[in-house]
Every structure is written in structure tokens, then in C-alpha cells.
């Protein structure tokens, strides 16, 4: 590699490294953007796949930057309510990803988290999402935003007879077609991110949970 290119690359790597080792919380840059902060104020959300990588990053971002959110129901696979509460504690509340909220709320951290996060036992693969009927209809009346981040991240099951490389892409396509056919008047956003394994900047660089 030519020396000039090498040294330019080195400068870039050094800068990146300096940025990455600065783990102090940066003030969130405020601008009006498209108004997500105002939109979420006082709203009730429902997130499926809450113990997963994506959902945790989303929950952290919302609670850190938009604490005016009213409540977030978190669908968690569990054998009962107690088990769901325990998973909420072990896999969300106690996770390092939330360290800035811990610093901010100190001894009130858990009270803050439990005032916003409500665990609900469920399973997207079963009818009625595996939720108790009364609870499901109560939640349905309250919730304004639903985020589904539940999914099986398995790439080694073949689906060639259906014309797809694996069941991952095949079932995603089926799900999207179903949503499109059944959504009625409900506004829907389908986000297809590329492979993401760790945080880049927020809440701090390099948080990773491994590949399940």
C-alpha cells in the first residue's frame, strides 16, 4: 500500500479509535427533525421481540431521549408473568446497554424502568399472539404504536423447493405479503436493515450481544 494512503488510513483509524474510546454520554443533538419526539410524547407502544438485540436498542433510545413516552408493553416469551418479569430484569433492566439511564436516575433507576416497561407473556407464532384474551383486548385499546421485532434468526434451513435460498427470506416475504393484504387502513412501515451486530455511536460504540 502506498505510504500516503497508509498514513491517511492511519489518521482515519486513530480518529475512529479516539471517538470510540470516548464513552462519555454525549448530549443528544436536538433539532426538530420529523417530530418523532413530539409524536411519541404520551403514547403507548407495544414491542414484540423485546429481549432481542434490535428491540433493546430501540427501548434504550426511546427511554433515554423521549422519557415522555407513556408506557411500552414488551412481549416476552415466558412460561408465566413471573418468568416474563424476570426476563425483563435480567435481559433488559440489568443490561449494560442501559448504563446512561442508570447513571441518570441513580437509585430511582429501577422505579423509572418499571414505570415505563410492562412485560406481557406472548408468542407471535400462536393464535392471539399467545396472550390472554382480556389482556390482549385491553392492550389493543390502549396501544397506538406496534413494533414487531420478533423473529427466528436462522439461516441454515433451506427453502429451495419454494424458490428461496432459506426459510429466513421465505418467511419474511410471506409475512410482508400478508401484512400488505391484511393491513386495511392501518399505516405500516417495514424496515429491512442490513446485518447489524453492534452499536456504532449510541448509546456508546461497540455494544454487542452475539449472534443467537
Residues near ligand NAP (CB under 6 A): 48-55, 75, 77, 123-125, 149-153, 193, 195-196, 212
Which one, 85 or 104, has the nearer CB to ligand NAP?
A: 85
For residue 38, the minimal CB distance to ligand NAP (Å) is: 26
Residue with the shortest CB distance to ligand NAP: 52
Q: How far is the CB of 134 from ligand NAP (least distance, A)?
A: 20
Helix (H) or strand (E) holding 146: strand 145-148
Please give the Cα distance from 153 to 212 (Å, whole number): 7
Query: Cβ closer to ligand NAP: 26 or 201?
Result: 201
Report in angstroms how near the CB of residue 77 gets to ligand NAP at its nearest: 4
Phi, psi of 164 (to 5 degrees): -125, 150
Q: Smallest distance, Å, CB 45 to ligand NAP? A: 15
Nearer of residues 67 and 130 to ligand NAP, judged by Cβ:
130
Among candidate residues 116, 168, 200, 201, the one labeled active-site is: 168
Name residues whose C-beta falls within 8 Å of residue 111's C-beta, 6 or more positions apart in sequence. Answer: 105
Among 85, 89, 116, 172, the active-site one is 172
- H-type helices in 49-202, by residue range? 53-65, 81-88, 99-105, 109-116, 133-142, 167-182
Q: Which residues pair with 120 in a beta bridge?
A: 75
Tell me whether residue 168 is one of the annotated catalytic residues: yes
The values of phi and psi at residue 49, to 5°, are: 85, 30
Catalytic-residue membership of 6: no
Closest to ligand NAP by CB, 5 or 189: 189
Q: How far apart are CA 76 and CA 80, in angstroms?
A: 10
Residues carrying an active site annotation: 168, 172
Amino acid at each position: 500500500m502506498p505510504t500516503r494512503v497508509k498514513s491517511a488510513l492511519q489518521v482515519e483509524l486513530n480518529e475512529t479509535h479516539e471517538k470510540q474510546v470516548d464513552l462519555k454520554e454525549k448530549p443528544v443533538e436536538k433539532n426538530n427533525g420529523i417530530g418523532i419526539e413530539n409524536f411519541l410524547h404520551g403514547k403507548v407502544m407495544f414491542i414484540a421481540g423485546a429481549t432481542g438485540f434490535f428491540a433493546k436498542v430501540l427501548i434504550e433510545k426511546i427511554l433515554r431521549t423521549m422519557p415522555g413516552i407513556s408506557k411500552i408493553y414488551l412481549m416476552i416469551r415466558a412460561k408465566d408473568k413471573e418468568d416474563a418479569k424476570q426476563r425483563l430484569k435480567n435481559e433488559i433492566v440489568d443490561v449494560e446497554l442501559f448504563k446512561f439511564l442508570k447513571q441518570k436516575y441513580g437509585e430511582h433507576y429501577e422505579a423509572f424502568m418499571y414505570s415505563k416497561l410492562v412485560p406481557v407473556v406472548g408468542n407471535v407464532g400462536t393464535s392471539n399472539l399467545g396472550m390472554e384474551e382480556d389482556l390482549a383486548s385491553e392492550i389493543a385499546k390502549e396501544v397506538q404504536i406496534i413494533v414487531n421485532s420478533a423473529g427466528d434468526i436462522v439461516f441454515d434451513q433451506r427453502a429451495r423447493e419454494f424458490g428461496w435460498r432459506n426459510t429466513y427470506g421465505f418467511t419474511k416475504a410471506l409475512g410482508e405479503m400478508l401484512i400488505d393484504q391484511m393491513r386495511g387502513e392501518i399505516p405500516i412501515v417495514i424496515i429491512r436493515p442490513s446485518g447489524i451486530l453492534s452499536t456504532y455511536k449510541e448509546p456508546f460504540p461497540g455494544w454487542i450481544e452475539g449472534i443467537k
